[in-house]
Structure 1
Amino acid sequence: RVIGPSLGQLNIEKGLLSVLLGLGLVLVAAAIYYKLFGLVADIALVFNLILLVAVLSLFQATLTMPGIAGIVLTLGMAIDANVLICERIREEMRNGSTPLASIRAGYEKAWATILDANVTHLLAATGLMIFASGSIRGFAITLGVGILTSMFTSVTATHAITALIHGGRKLKTLSV
């Protein structure tokens, strides 16, 4: 009934709550479904969110509803990359590969799909950055930065964590 400055603040608070609630649900689902690899994906997803907010802070970006939407989309894309990797690892295990070979092949085979999806999103975000203005441009900037951070965390960070956990050990099975 009343439109004032508190309405924008309320929307931001609800947007942040939705990000945190969605993030929490995704973290729980990944941990339950993918076990240890889900926990690794969870660590990377939280690191991605921290890295994204840090980069946006460097640009002194103002958090708006479209920016929050860009963050939510980034988190969804980041967990999607980890789902692709985990499913490829499972596929390799079903085909009889050793656990370490399955991990290596899982990352290698998922890479092309992850790169394709992220480059496509980055092109769309770049188009929006160039041709849009205002809040749409803010969404595009957040999405573009998020794509770059998620490429780093979803592939490089999870691979490094997985190598720390499993590297140099004789494994009979994987928790994936």
Structure 2
Amino acid sequence: MNRGQPLLLKRQVVLSGDSITSAASSFDQETAKPAVSIHLGGGGEALFTQITRQNIGHPLAIVYVESKIENQTTRRDERVISVAVINSALGNQFQITGLGVEEAKDLALLLRAGALPTVIYPIEERMVGPSLGQENIHRGIVSLAVGMGLILTLMAVYYRLFGWVANMALLLNLIFLVAVLSILGATLTLPGIAGIVLTVGMAVDANVLIYERIREELRAGFSPQAAIYAGYERAFATIIDANVTTLIVGVVLFCIGTGPVKGFAVTLCLGLMTSMLTAVTYSRAMVNLIYGRRQVKQLSIGI
């Protein structure tokens, strides 16, 4: 297209931008009108002279080619930026006339952009080893261990025997999560560690919901066995709602995210599924094993 008009071009490329040594906007000495002065080099002058001699009176199009990377694929855009009629055989120096002042400047700029390669000279070069990433992973694991230690201590002190049940469920949750990640061949990264830490918090949150519900039932006058049953049953819907909502967010992050975001989403989703399994199934089985057949008047479930 040239100024909105369709053009039929031959596929033969007469000259590439590598043969242009300079292009500048100027004024024609005879007509004093704007023009673009072009100088050729690189051995293409003879061929260009021959082609233009054979096509005097015919139009010659200049096509600007631009390559763009979109969605991991390279797209090639071709745009006609000038069409001029060949008036005579052209050598290594010639002019393009019939342009306005701004058109001449723009055309010269585009010709220079495609003609003058930029040589890159390295000023400084540094080699970065894997120590930085290893240090970050180490810090992430340390933070996970410290967080786990604080959570285990708090649960054991505050919820007593039930806290120890929650701690065992939490450790089992981590074992399941690491096992699944190992089976999938996942690489442990900082976002992945962040997902594991968040999983630990949500697993503890599920146990806290259950235990607080049991304490409410005890204060309402229920027997220990009835309070345990009602606590797990009535907290189950809340736990499922909270985890499913977060699971949807994790799936969305995995679908639209890239790289580290996907790593975080994978550990988050897997951790949510394992935490629901251990917090509801394993925890309830352990509590029923301890208190199911015992006739007790009170539960060791808090300070």
User: Which TM-score tier does this pair reach, normalised by the shorter chain?
Assistant: over 0.9
Residue 172, structure 1, aligned to residue 262, structure 2: no
> What does residue 181 of structure 2 align with?
56
In the alignment, structure 1 residue 38 sits paired with structure 2 residue 149: no
Secondary structure of 2:140's counterpart equals helix
**Where do 1:32-111 residues align within 5 Å?**
32-111=157-236
State the AA in 1 paired with 2:142.
L
Q: Distance in 2 between matches of 1:40 and 1:29?
A: 13
Structure with bigger helix share is: 1
- Cα distance in 2, alignment partners of residues 63 and 122 from structure 1: 20
What corresponds to 1:13 in structure 2?
138
Matched with 2:8 is none
What RMSD in Å do the two structures reach over aligned CA positions? 0.9
Query: Partners of 1:163 and 1:3 in 2: how far apart?
Result: 55
1:147 aligned to 2:266?
no
Indicate the structure whose relative CO is greater, using CA pairs within 8 Å and at least 6 residues apart.
Answer: 1
Give the counterpart letter for 2:271 in structure 1: G
Question: Quick one: distance in 1 between partners of 2:231 and 2:153?
Answer: 22
Which of residues 253, 259, 262 in structure 2 aligns to 1:137? 262
TM-score between both structures, scaled by the size of structure 1:
0.98
Task: Note the alpha carbon deviations across 1:132-156, whole angstroms, 9 max, x for none.
Answer: 1101001000000000000000111
Offset from partner CA, 1:13-62 (integer Å, 9 cap, x none): 11001101100100000000001100000000011011100100000100
The code of the aligned residue for 1:73 comes to L
Gapped runs of 5+ residues in structure 1? none
Give the Cα–Cα distance (whole angstroms) in 1 for the partners of residues 261 and 165 of structure 2. Answer: 33
**Partner residue of 1:118?**
243
How far apart are 1:80 and its partner, in Å? 0.1
More strand by share: 2
Other structure's SS at 1:61 match? coil
Q: Which has the larger radius of gyration?
A: 2
Identity of aligned residues (%): 58
Post-superposition offset of 1:3: 4.6
- Structure 1 runs, 4 residues or longer, greater than 3 Å off: none
SS of the residue 1:4 aligns to: coil
Give secondary structure in 1 for the equivalent of 2:297: coil
Q: Distance in 1 between the 2:240 and 2:194 partners?
A: 22
Q: What is the aligned length?
A: 175
Give 3-state SS (helix, strand or coil) of 1:68's partner.
Answer: helix
Letter in 2 for 1:88: R
The aligned residue for residue 283 of structure 2 is 158
